[in-house]
Structure 1
C-alpha cells in the first residue's frame, strides 16, 4: 500500500494555501470564542458524544476515553506536511513526558480523527498510525459521523480541488485539543507549539 506519509512536494504551493486557510479558520475560531480560551472564564463548548471506528475496525466512542486525558487532533493521511508533523510533535511530547512522569504519560491518549473519510479507510488509518505514538487511536467513519464529530469539536474542514491535479487536499482547523477525563475541554495547542511546551503543559495539568 502506498504510504501517504511520504507524499510530499508534488503540490507545495497548493499545500501552502491550504495550510494558510486552516490557520485563518483557527484565528476566526479564537476570535469567535474569546471566553473559551485557556485560563479565561466560561466553559468551552468543545467535545461531545461521537461514534466512530478505530484503525482496527472496532467501534470507538467518546465513552472509550472516559477516565483518560486525550490529545485530539483532526487531520487526514494524505496531508503533505502539517498533519504528520503535528502527530510527530505529539509523539515526541508524550515520549518526553514519559521520561520524567511515566504515569502521567500513560494517562494521556493521543487521538487522530480524519476529516477525509472518503480516502481514510480503516486500512489506511491503520498503516498511517504505525508511524506515530504506539498509543495513537486513529478514527474514521462515515461522512455523517465525521461531520457530527467535527461539529462537536468546532472543527472546520472542507475539500480543496484543483483542475490541474487529479486529487484533492483538505483545508481544516489546526488545533490539538487536550480533553479531560470527564470529556471536557482543558486547553489547546497550535501547530507551532513545541513538543517541550506540550510536555510541560501535560505535566502541569495531568493527574498521574
Structure 2
C-alpha cells in the first residue's frame, strides 16, 4: 500500500471510529435527588418584610439552606461557602449565575425577624433571600424539605442554640430537587456541583 492510500485509509478509520464513539455516548446522568419528595409550596416573609411564596422563584434554580442567624459556628461558614461557590459560577458563566437564587430559611423565627435576616444575608451575597415566618409556617416548610430542627434549653443569659440539619439543596427552575451541595467543601467544589446539575 502506498503512502497516499495509507493516509486515506487512516483518515477513514479515524472518521469511522469517531462516528462509532459518538453513537455510543452514555446517556445524560440523572441528578441524584431526581424524584425525591423534597420541597413544595410555601409562603413566608423575606428580609424586607414582604410575603414570598415558592412561585416567586419559578424559572430559576434555587440553592436552599436552613439555618439561623444566631448560630455560633456552622451556619455562617456554610452560607459563606455556598455564596462563594455561587460567585464562582457567576464568574465562569454569568448567564447561568443570574438564573440561580440563594435562599436562606430560618429555623429560629422567634429571633430571626426580617431586619435581623436582612443584616445577615446581605453580608454574604447581594441576591441572597432570607425567609422567616410564624413557627407553624416554618415547621411546615421544615417538614416539606426534610429538615430537622430543635431549640435547646436556654442558658442563664436567655440565649439558646438550635440543633438542625445542615444540608444545602439545589432545586431546578420548576422546584424539583436536583442535588445536595457540598457546603462543607470548597467554593470551587460547590460551583462544580452547581454547574454539573444546573443544566
Query: The TM-score by the shorter chain falls in which range?
Result: 0.7 to 0.9
Instruction: Give, in angstroms, the shift of residue 197 of structure 1.
Output: 1.1
Partner of 2:32: 39
Structure 2 distance, partners of 1:80, 1:202, is: 27
Partner of 2:129: 137
Q: Determine if the alignment matches structure 1 residue 193 to structure 2 residue 175.
A: no
Q: Determine if the alignment matches structure 1 residue 121 to structure 2 residue 116.
A: no
Q: Determine if the alignment matches structure 1 residue 53 to structure 2 residue 71.
A: no
Q: Determine if the alignment matches structure 1 residue 161 to structure 2 residue 153.
A: yes
Q: Determine if the alignment matches structure 1 residue 92 to structure 2 residue 84.
A: yes
Partner of 2:143: 151
In the alignment, is the contact (CA less than 8 A) between 2:181 and 2:194 conserved in 1? no
Structure 2 distance, partners of 1:100, 1:189, is: 18
Q: Determine if the alignment matches structure 1 residue 79 to structure 2 residue 71.
A: yes
Q: TM-score, normalised by structure 2?
A: 0.81
Instruction: Give, in angstroms, the shift of residue 193 of structure 1.
Output: 2.5
Distance 1:174 1:38, change over 3 A: farther
- Give the root-mean-square deviation of aligned CA atoms: 1.7
Q: Secondary structure at the match of 2:52?
A: strand
What is the number of residues matched between the two proteins?
170
Instruction: Give, in angstroms, the shift of residue 190 of structure 1.
Output: 4.1
What whole-Å deviation, never above 9, does each CA across 1:149-175 have from its counterpart, x for those lacking one? Answer: 001101000001254553100000000
Distance 1:161 1:198, change over 3 A: same
For structure 1, which runs of at least 5 residues remain unmatched after alignment? 1-36
Q: Secondary structure at the match of 1:113?
A: strand
Structure 2 distance, partners of 1:185, 1:132, is: 23
| Structure of higher CA gyration radius | 2
For structure 2, which runs of at least 5 residues remain unmatched after alignment? 1-29
Q: Secondary structure at the match of 1:187?
A: strand
Q: Determine if the alignment matches structure 1 residue 107 to structure 2 residue 99.
A: yes
Partner of 2:176: 184
Runs of 4+ with deviation above 6 angstroms = none
